[in-house]
Amino acid sequence: MAGKPSGGRGARFAGAMDPAAAALNASVHFDRRLLRDDVRGSQAHARMLVVAGLISAADGDAIVAGLDRVATEFQSGGRALDPALEDVHMNVESRLIELIGEAGRRLHPARSRNDQVATDLKLYARRAALDIVSAIDLARVALCRQARAHAATLLPGYTHLQRAQVVTLGHHLLAYAEMLGRDRGRFVDAERRAAESPLGSGALAGTGLPIDRARTAETLEFSGGPTHNSLDAVSDRDFAAEIAFACALLAVHLSRFGEELVLWSTTEFGFVRLGEGYCSGSSLMPQKRNPDVAELLRGKSGRAIGDLVALLTISKGLTLAYNKDLQETQEPLYDAVETAQQSLAVMPGLVAALEFDVGRMRAAAEDPALGATDLAEELVRHGVPFRSAHEVIGRLVRRAEEKKVTLRGLDAGDLRAIDAALSPEVMAALDPGRAVAARTVVGGPAPAMVEREVARLEAELTALGLEP
């Protein structure tokens, strides 16, 4: 049909694209995610064209209203995007022209698909970043609540997955709140750094028409104003890489949480029971109660890292300005974002439904070996140089192993034989509750410190309008 943009090929070409090439080139199956951003960007552009005197007010109004209709048609599912029109942008413009005629043909001056897709993708990315920030906050609320409930619940802390020192469950859970807090900061930074509007950069070289880029930037809430270099603006996908990185590191954190849930829900550890809504059974083994969701949280990290690699590698070695390779940056971004969203979506319910076996944790925390460091510190308090204290306790551990008893099972003779300083008073440091309560250093596991950190987190979350 004359007058319709034919997927960007224009009058320049006599024939159609080769079918295999068209398949390689197709993007509507993924760039449909940009529909609402595309419409929003085009509306801002049209309104600005009116003010700049490049189109009439009537045409501007017709375009804005027409775009609303286009959006509704495609979003409602009443109308499908046509792959023959290459991408979502051409679908929108083409349908607009069908709906409103001549006025629709006046939408595209002073812009190009290059600045258009850069704008759409940045709008999407910023939305996605803020959405993930909210989802992170909900996960932090859930962790905060469980941490408050378990501020004084004892369990072994591990290094190298060997029992190391007694800690509190609230402290353990808050470690994940810390990680998520840093993740949040990265998304906020990424969103802020993406706050410059590419719209008006044209295909690569701006435009000679008297447009007002600051106005469209403001309409689209790009608080950083317009970008400062048109060649960079149309070829920049840093914001996508930065968000994909934030997603990948978030996914790594969730993988650690997932690993621990898998581990803790083993028969051997038995520290936690996942909510039934987060488990699956087996098609063969009738007794199984598998922590599928925790495993998926773990596995998704590989996917997110892969998305990041794709984004960075695609951008490697590209000359200025726009290159078609950049189309390939969309899917990894979408996948990274949606993986993050899906993973975070399970967190509030998953965390809230965790049933900790407090008795089993407490029993494990009674393991006297966990108090070895506390013993050493007690010796230091009694004036023994630390290195010497470390050696004394090392001998104590070996003696206990030889006798096949725990540290508490050594008798007074054993203690005397090792070091005179090992008085009953000193040995009392082995009590797990006493040991952990003493570790009131900032960031320490003592119940009092956990409560302090919970309060700090609550204050932050409350200030964000949440109810932790």
Binding residues among 299-358 for its own copies as defined by CB under 8 A = 299-303, 305-328, 331-332, 342-343, 345-346, 349-350, 353
Give the helix/strand (H/E) hosting 154.
strand 154-159
Nearest to 180, CA basis, from 330, 333, 327, 297: 297
Shortest Cβ distance from residue 70 to its own copies (Å)?
16
Does 219 engage in binding with its own copies (CB under 8 A)?
Answer: no
Does 428 engage in binding with its own copies (CB under 8 A)?
Answer: no
Does 412 engage in binding with its own copies (CB under 8 A)?
Answer: no
Give the helix/strand (H/E) hosting 356.
strand 355-356
Which C-beta is closer to its own copies: that of 79 or that of 381? Answer: 381
User: What is the rounded distance in angstroms from the CA atom of residue 224 to the CA atom of residue 54?
Assistant: 25
Does 169 engage in binding with its own copies (CB under 8 A)?
Answer: no
Site for its own copies in 23-82 (CB under 8 A): 23-25, 54
Please pick, from the candidates 45, 47, 89, 145, the single residue that binds its own copies as defined by CB under 8 A: 89
DSSP label at 197? B
**How is residue 87 written in tokens?**
């991408």
- Long-range contacts, stretch 286-292, CB < 8 angstroms, 24+ apart: 291/261, 291/262, 291/265
Which C-beta is closer to its own copies: that of 35 or that of 110? Answer: 110
Please pick, from the candidates 33, 40, 45, 113, the single residue that binds its own copies as defined by CB under 8 A: 113
- Beta bridge pairs of residue 155: 167
Shortest Cβ distance from residue 462 to its own copies (Å)?
17
Does 3 engage in binding with its own copies (CB under 8 A)?
Answer: yes
Does 91 engage in binding with its own copies (CB under 8 A)?
Answer: no
Shortest Cβ distance from residue 134 to its own copies (Å)?
14
Check 29, 76, 160, 283 and give the catalytic one.
160
Shortest Cβ distance from residue 124 to its own copies (Å)?
19
3-state secondary structure of 288: coil
Which C-beta is closer to its own copies: that of 416 or that of 456? Answer: 456
Does 149 engage in binding with its own copies (CB under 8 A)?
Answer: no
Shortest Cβ distance from residue 388 to its own copies (Å)?
6
Q: Give the per-residue contact string, 368-387, with its own copies (x = CB under 8 A; - = no).
A: -x--xxx-xx--xx---xxx
User: What is the rounded distance in angstroms from the CA atom of residue 157 to the CA atom of residue 172?
Assistant: 8
Please pick, from the candidates 43, 172, 333, 426, the single residue that binds its own copies as defined by CB under 8 A: 172
Site for its own copies in 445-464 (CB under 8 A): 445-446, 449, 453, 456
* Residues contacting residue 396 through CB under 8 Å, at least 6 positions apart: 372, 375, 407, 410, 415, 418, 422
Shortest Cβ distance from residue 26 to its own copies (Å)?
9
Q: Give the per-residue contact string, 252-271, with its own copies (x = CB under 8 A; - = no).
A: x--xx-xxx-xx-xxxxx--
169 within 8 A of 447, measured Cβ to Cβ = no
Residue 163 has phi, psi (to 5 degrees) of -55, 130
- Long-range contacts, stretch 92-99, CB < 8 angstroms, 24+ apart: 92/35, 92/38, 92/39, 92/42, 92/67, 93/5, 93/42, 94/4, 94/5, 95/70, 96/42, 96/63, 96/66, 96/67, 96/70, 97/3, 97/4, 97/5, 98/4, 99/66, 99/69, 99/70
Calculate helix-pair angle for 88-100, 113-149, nearest 10 degrees. Answer: 120
Q: C-alpha 437: how far from its chain's center?
A: 34
- Beta bridge pairs of residue 355: 273
Which C-beta is closer to its own copies: that of 174 or that of 337? Answer: 174
Nearest to 109, CA basis, from 59, 49, 69, 30: 49
Shortest Cβ distance from residue 147 to its own copies (Å)?
10
**Annotated catalytic, 201?**
no
Which C-beta is closer to its own copies: that of 73 or that of 232? Answer: 232
**Annotated catalytic, 171?**
no
Site for its own copies in 226-245 (CB under 8 A): 226-236, 238, 241-242, 245
Check 42, 282, 343, 390 and give the catalytic one.
282
Shortest Cβ distance from residue 48 to its own copies (Å)?
12
Does 399 engage in binding with its own copies (CB under 8 A)?
Answer: no
Which residues are catalytic, by number?
Answer: 160, 282
